[in-house]
Structure 1
Amino acid sequence: MIGIISLDLISEYSHEIVRGIAEAISDDERELLMHVSVDAIRERERIEFMARDLVDGLLLIAPMLEPETVELLQSLRIPVVVVDPRQLDVGLPRVTVDNYEGVRTATEHLIGLGHERIGFIRGEEDLESSEARFRGFADAMQLSGLAVDPESVATSGFSYTSGFKAATQVLERTNLTALLIGADLIAFGAMDAARAQGLSIPADISIVGFDDLPRAAQSYPPLTTVRQPLHDMGQAGARALLSLIEGQPLAVDRIRLSTTFVERASTAAPRADCP
């Protein structure tokens, strides 16, 4: 039995990772036991419960992993792999993606189209992935000789509602031609926030997300985004865990996958008459 613990198991983000896990173990005789942990305390309790001879190993999806929880995992001596950790130096085998390069490429795309006034909405600040994505944006702007206006930067929770609110604030206080956003869920809210202010996408403002959730290709207009290989992350995590369960050491304890820039219809060159 393999245990999976995640902050949620119903979002497109978690669903894609779990789908990859399930495919990776399809030829193995083990089953999956899944639990949701809504906070750090619940996460620690679920880990302790599942590790008591209930599962052969644990896969943790975007866990909080407070220091006490890491100490618990190390003391239990159960095989563990972390997929998309909030903090990178967790002292456990982990699967991550190149967040920095993904957003840097997306920013260069917007600059290449002719955009100079580009805003950024980042995810929750306690995630190292959010910081890496912002650095990718800021570095690309600096290397192109463009300034990052503090008024054009905001922080948002990973939800449509938070994205709508953050984008509304940024768009009300700036005159942007493009907006780069650290997660598709936030971008969906931002797209509606732009429309609520009478802006057309991409004629008046270009929008880029991050994740490439299944819904991104079906949004209106289809969302240009950075594909985070969620399915592959699940597969890589599951394969690493199976190796540990079978007593095989991992060649590396940090598996980092590449992102892919996906251009769709939510980006275009800024209008020639744009003020």
Structure 2
Amino acid sequence: MNGEVVTEEAIRRRVTLGAVARTVGVSIATVSKVINGRSDVAPATRARIQAALLDHDYVARGLGGVPQGGRTLELVFDALETPNNLEIVRGVTEAVADSGIAVVVGVVPDDPLGAEWARRIAGAQREGVILVTSTLSQQQRNHFTETGVPLVLIDPVNIPDSSMPSIGATNFSGGMDAAKHLTELGHRRIGMVEGRADALCGVARLHGYHAALAAAGITPDPDLVRPGDFTFQSGYQAGLDLLDLPDPPTAVFAANDPEALGVMAAARVRGLRIPEDLSVVGFDDMSPSRWASPPLTTVRQPFAEMGRAAAEALFQLATGETLNSTRVELATTLVVRESTAPPSR
């Protein structure tokens, strides 16, 4: 024995890493590389580890070590389903690395009114809550306000009012960039798969699509816009519907990457080649978009930067500071890959 004191928390975290390693079939060292942002892990392996970390409710901590005084913040998702979630976790933990604050990751509890949820957070003396891609009712927001728990939203489905601090991306300009890319390639019949009708980000991307068509002098065709809900299946069905039109589109912009991948699957079922017969653009730049066949042209959201910005805003609120702006939008970037090309007809 060398006299080292091993805490119960350290043992628990080691056990969690071991469980993740066994689930994925890698070493604990490889899991640690992913947690610490090392680049020497294959993309496919990284994605599997990231998913397993979320499945095992891994509690991420800043690199500063054990939190001083047990200080924690909660990072709450609507669901732990996409690789983007871990990018946000990475951004938040990087922001708290020097403060020694712990980041507890979880999902929205089944508490529609939010009263019990807010009381639990206040009772645990959290620094605050970062809520990701979720709907927040005015009643839930009021309960958090009453308990004095700072709350920051990332990419909210809705914003209860303009005073609620939120971090997002430039969805309108991102949608416009996606559709503009297609018009500049020469496409005139450009389909659109919408996001959820109640999601602000999806509506903004649709408006960006319309703006790009107007700027190119293209008259919108309502038949080329199909509903979606940000899922692969909705993109697949919308893709089939669009491709079965008498005059189908030569290109499709989908409101997110899973929808875009669904459109690509529909094109293959209809015997079409991408991008020779159909160009496809997504939104998000999730890791599967880079592994698609062909790799997907998409609009990148800065998820890690959104996490950092949310944590910084939460720190300001927790110390009684006033935010310069309650709404921050970070720039998106068009990433051109191999799923787009000039139309062949």
Q: What TM-score comes out, normalization by structure 2 length?
A: 0.75
Q: Does 1:34 align with 2:91?
A: no
Q: Secondary structure at the match of 2:197?
A: coil
Q: Does 1:87 align with 2:163?
A: no
Q: Does 1:55 align with 2:160?
A: no
Q: Which amino acid aligns with 1:65?
A: L
Q: Following superposition of structure 1 onto structure 2, how do residues 69-218 of structure 1 map, counting pairs within 5 Å? A: 69-88=140-159, 90=161, 91-173=163-245, 174-218=247-291
Of structures 1 and 2, the larger Rg is shown by 2
Q: Does 1:17 align with 2:88?
A: yes
Distance 1:122 1:142 in 2: 18
Q: Which 10-residue stretch deviates more, 163-172 or 82-91?
A: 82-91
Number of aligned pairs? 272
Give the 3 Å change call, closer, same or farther, for CA 270–255 of structure 1 in structure 2: same
Moved beyond 3 Å, runs of 4+: 42-48
* 1:241 aligned residue: 314
User: Do the aligned residues in 2 keep the contact of 1:6 with 1:37 (CA within 8 Å)?
Assistant: yes
Give the 3 Å change call, closer, same or farther, for CA 48–172 of structure 1 in structure 2: farther
User: Do the aligned residues in 1 keep the contact of 2:76 with 2:108 (CA within 8 Å)?
Assistant: yes
User: Do the aligned residues in 1 keep the contact of 2:235 with 2:260 (CA within 8 Å)?
Assistant: yes
Q: CA RMSD in A?
A: 1.7
Structure 1 residue corresponding to 2:304, chosen from 221, 226, 231: 231
Gapped regions of structure 2 (runs ≥ 5): 1-71
Q: Secondary structure at the match of 1:82?
A: strand
Distance 2:109 2:236 in 1: 23
Give the 3 Å change call, closer, same or farther, for CA 151–38 of structure 1 in structure 2: farther
* 2:328 aligned residue: 255
* 2:61 aligned residue: none
Deviation at 1:43, TM superposition (A): 6.1
Q: Which amino acid aligns with 2:186?
A: G
Q: Which amino acid aligns with 1:259?
A: T
Distance 1:132 1:141 in 2: 14
After superposition, what is the alpha-carbon deviation per residue over 1:188-239, rounded to whole angstroms, capped at 9, x for unaligned? 1111111111110000000000001122111111110111111111111011
| Amino-acid identity (%) | 35
Distance 2:264 2:122 in 1: 43
Distance 1:197 1:45 in 2: 51
